[in-house]
Amino acid sequence: MAEIHNPGAVAEDTAVLAENSLLGKTALITGGSRGIGFAAAKQMGELGAKIILVAQDPSRLEKALEELEKNSLVSQGYAVDLASAEAIAALAEKLKDTEINILVNSAGVMSEKTAKTLRTENAEWHRVLDINLNAPFFMVKHFVPQMVERREGRIINVSACLGRFSGPGTSGGLAPYRIAKAGLNALTKNLSAELGSGKRGVLVDVVCPGHCQTDMGGPSAPRTAAEGAETITWLAAREVNETTKSGHLWEDRAIVPW
């Protein structure tokens, strides 16, 4: 997978996150059973957050929960097919009495290699858009109103450099994936503007994790899943003040162009 990096981009904050900085917080993480979502879950759990994992495959989910438990991290999980708006609504119903402080939309699927626009079957278009764009929208619709009401919350969407207009986002191929990620970037910026760009307590951001060693990224990717998750965790745990920037695309704790 082609990736671009921004050697000129300067990290906003290079400090190590404070121990227990997420104590008392609950993080709901889609795609939390493996890869970058699982790495983010582990990192946030280590900072004190209670973790709620959402993934599709019950056995992989169980394995992820066991791993968190082995590390003494507090967690629970739900097997949900995020392609189904009804299943997401049912999850929201189950969690209606749970205060969610952090929502991470990390679940994702890659396009077929042959998915140039004119060769993309309708079913493939829907498969990729459902998980990479529609599911984050439904998760936001169900779990963000409570954050708005409390004037407190963080939403972190996991995008890709392949969705960037300033990068390889529009250079052709993998059409459903690139277009879904460009849409996820647009959803982030639009929602952030609607919520006062962080001024009303709810921060909405999107991350480019870089090419990572996961089932999606393959074993020869240059970064670990933990490295890909680090900016997600930082966005969840960073301290907020009047100069805090929100509503951006981030890579390695730096704002990068859309």
Ligand X SMILES: NC(=O)c1ccc[n+]([C@@H]2O[C@H](COP(=O)([O-])OP(=O)(O)OC[C@H]3O[C@@H](n4cnc5c(N)ncnc54)[C@H](OP(=O)(O)O)[C@@H]3O)[C@@H](O)[C@H]2O)c1
Question: Footprint of ligand X on this chain (CB under 6 A)?
Answer: 1, 31, 33-37, 55-57, 60, 80-83, 106-109, 131, 158, 160, 209, 211-212, 214-217, 221
H or E element at residue 111? none
Q: Report the residue number, 170 or 197, with the smaller CB distance to ligand X.
A: 170
CA-nearest of 158, 161, 229, 153 to 192 is: 153
Which of 38, 143, 177, 250 is an active site residue? 177
State in angstroms the smallest separation of the CB of 184 from ligand X. Answer: 8
Neighbours of 59 (CB within 10 A): 9
**Which stretches within the chain are classed as H helix?**
35-46, 58-70, 85-94, 122-129, 135-150, 175-194, 225-237
Residue 177 is among the residues annotated as catalytic for this protein: yes
Nearer to ligand X by Cβ, of 189 and 200: the residue is: 189
Q: CB nearest ligand X: which residue? A: 35
> Smallest gap, in angstroms, from Cβ of residue 162 to ligand X?
7
Nearer to ligand X, 35 or 176 (CB): 35
Separation CA 254–CA 245 (nearest Å): 10
Closest separation between CB of residue 122 and ligand X, Å? Answer: 18
Whose Cβ is closer to ligand X: residue 26's or residue 106's? 106
Q: How far is the CB of 86 from ligand X (least distance, A)?
A: 13
Integer angstrom CA distances of residue 130 from 18, 107, 123, 208:
36, 11, 10, 19
Q: How far apart are CA 59 and CA 77, in angstroms?
A: 11
User: Shortest Cβ distance from residue 15 to ligand X (Å)?
Assistant: 25
Task: Give the Cα separation of 32 and 107 in Å (integer).
Answer: 7
Q: Which is nearer to ligand X, 163 or 247 (CB)?
A: 163
* CA dihedral angle for residue 228, residue 230, residue 235, residue 239, rounded to 10 degrees: -170
Q: Which residues are catalytic?
A: 177
